């Protein structure tokens, strides 16, 4: 991948700082493209951070292998997530910079979402690593930060894979809620940032298995942002997987039933209805 001299978000590689006003102005430049995304708002920006930052984080991430890849379900295979708390110093500082006022100002201007809140717990975030043969099925993310009682609103993925080619797999895919159409696909090349608004219908994932000829893993920075808009009318849910055309499984059928219930049941009745469906083993 060729890297331009000036990155989209030119954070200083040493201080890891960008003035908030400058960050906000940069965000405005991407607002129209981001907010016109369909079926939900999203954007892909190449050469997002300075290459010096990406190379240091990539090197530290490769040196961090403190747990085996997770094999939690048929929809998620050979994938591990490393919380910044266990990562080397420079990478931890990068994550802190991406949770700072400056970066939040950038995101708010780009997305049009005000009052964004960074996650100091990095719940589900950190460095994501998918080994050869690994994948993550199409899904909508968990929607509730229990510790802070916040609503999840935004995902950021910044890829760390030098010289990655599309045929190596692991592309980030965006799908319609009915799973009839793939809207976009982004190869996880070094420096590419994908950002999208999260909801119970923002279907995405990297379902094509990683297939690097030298066995190198697919790696990314992952961060999530929230707003203080959670109310009792919401139904908290974990990750909701959906099958691509031609694929199916029992867990996905249960999640489809939950989706249908949310569509046709008034919000005030949804918590009780979900409990009843669970009791009847429909969820």
CATH number at residue 152: 2.60.120.620
Nearest-angstrom CA–CA distance, 11 and 106: 12
Number of domains the chain contains: 2
Q: Are residues 211 and 80 in the same domain?
A: yes
Q: How far apart are CA 64 and CA 61, in angstroms?
A: 5
Q: How far apart are CA 161 and CA 58, in angstroms?
A: 8
Q: Let me know if residue 143 belongs to a domain.
A: yes
Q: Which residues neighbour 234 within 8 Å (Cβ) at sequence distance 6 or greater?
A: 143, 144, 151, 267
Which sign does the torsion angle of CA 66, 68, 73, 77 carry?
positive
Whether pLDDT at 259 is above 70: no
Report the range of poorest mean pLDDT among 100-104, 155-159, 277-281.
277-281
Alpha helices in the chain (DSSP H): 20-29, 31-35, 51-62, 89-97, 101-111, 250-264, 270-279
Say if residue 125 is in the same domain as residue 254.
no
* The model's pTM: 0.85
Residue 48 domain-assigned (yes or no): yes
The pLDDT of 126-149, averaged and rounded, is 95
What pLDDT score was predicted for residue 3?
A: 41
Query: For residue 7, what are the contacts with CB-CB under 8 A and spacing of at least 6?
Result: 47, 48, 49, 50, 51, 191
Could you tell me which residue, 272 or 161, shows the higher pLDDT?
161
1, pLDDT greater than 60: no
**Would you say residue 158 has pLDDT above 70?**
yes
Residue 43 · residue 30 · CB < 8 Å: yes
Q: Which of 22-36, 143-157, 230-244 has the lowest mean pLDDT?
A: 230-244
Q: Are residues 216 and 265 in the same domain?
A: no
Please say whether the beta carbons of 151 and 234 come within 8 A.
yes
pLDDT band for 5, please (50, 70, 90 cuts).
low
Residue 248 in this model has a pLDDT that exceeds 70: no
Average pLDDT of the residues of the chain: 89
pLDDT one-digit tens code per residue, 191-213: 999 999 999 999 999 999 999 99
């Amino acid at each position: 991948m060729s890297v331009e001299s000036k990155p989209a978000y030119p954070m200083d590689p040493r201080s890891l700082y960008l003035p908030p006003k400058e960050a906000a102005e940069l965000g405005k430049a991407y607002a129209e493209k981001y907010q016109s995304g369909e079926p939900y708002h999203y954007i892909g920006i190449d050469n997002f951070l300075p290459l010096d930052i990406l190379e240091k984080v990539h090197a530290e991430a490769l040196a961090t292998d403190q747990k085996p890849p997770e094999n939690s379900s048929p929809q998620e295979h050979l994938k591990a997530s490393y919380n910044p708390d266990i990562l080397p110093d420079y990478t931890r500082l990068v994550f802190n910079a991406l949770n700072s006022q400056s970066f939040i100002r950038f995101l708010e201007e780009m997305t049009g979402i005000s009052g964004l809140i960074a996650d100091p717990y990095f719940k589900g975030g950190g460095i994501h690593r998918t080994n050869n043969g690994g994948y993550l099925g199409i899904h909508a993310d968990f929607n509730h930060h229990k510790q802070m009682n916040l609503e999840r609103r935004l995902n950021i993925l910044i890829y760390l894979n030098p010289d990655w080619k599309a045929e190596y797999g692991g592309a980030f895919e965006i799908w319609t809620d009915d799973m009839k159409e793939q809207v976009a696909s982004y190869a996880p090349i070094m420096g590419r940032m994908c950002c999208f608004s999260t909801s119970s219908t923002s279907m995405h994932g990297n379902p094509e298995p990683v297939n690097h000829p030298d066995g190198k893993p697919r790696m990314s920075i992952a961060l999530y942002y929230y707003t203080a808009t959670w109310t009792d009318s919401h139904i908290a849910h974990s990750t909701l997987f959906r099958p691509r055309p031609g694929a199916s499984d029992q867990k996905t059928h249960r999640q489809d039933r939950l989706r249908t219930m949310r569509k046709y049941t008034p919000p005030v009745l949804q918590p009780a209805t979900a409990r009843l469906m669970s009791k009847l083993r429909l969820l």
